[in-house]
Amino acid sequence: DTGVSQDPRHKITKRGQNVTFRCDPISEHNRLYWYRQTLGQGPEFLTYFQNEAQLEKSRLLSDRFSAERPKGSFSTLEIQRTEQGDSAMYLCASSLDGEETQYFGPGTRLLVL
């Protein structure tokens, strides 16, 4: 299966710790998106990359959040000094430039205790 993959699938951490998530998009896709989803809500946009360039960041992305896509392939999302309010499902999606459909990974579920 060459779909979008995310690692880890689940992460439990204590408040104040740093966490890093990884996303591997579909290989030929040059656009990569991060979304966050809380219970009972739809996914909310966090940031996106076109190749290695980070083109847009949501106001939801506080300065504790940073995302990278160093070689235009996989991406990482780091959360520093986690807070309980960061508990959510973090979804990654990818698409071809100009294509309307986004392909989502299985998500990383984060629980901050």
Given the rule CB under 8 A, which residues bind other proteins?
4, 31, 33, 35, 40-45, 48, 55-56, 91, 93, 95, 98, 100-107, 109
Shortest distance (Å) from residue 112 CB to other proteins: 18
Shortest distance (Å) from residue 106 CB to other proteins: 5
3-state SS string over 38-81? CCCCCCEEEEEEECCEEEEECCCCCCCEEEECCCCCCEEEEECC
Contacts of 59 (CB under 8 A, 6+ apart): none
Which residue number, 34 or 81, has a Cβ lying nearer to other proteins? 34
Shortest distance (Å) from residue 107 CB to other proteins: 5
Which residue number, 50 or 80, has a Cβ lying nearer to other proteins? 50
What gap in Å lies between CA 104 and CA 23, rounded to an integer? 10
Question: Does residue 25 have a cis peptide bond before it, meaning omega lies within 30 degrees of 0?
Answer: no
Which residue number, 74 or 80, has a Cβ lying nearer to other proteins? 74
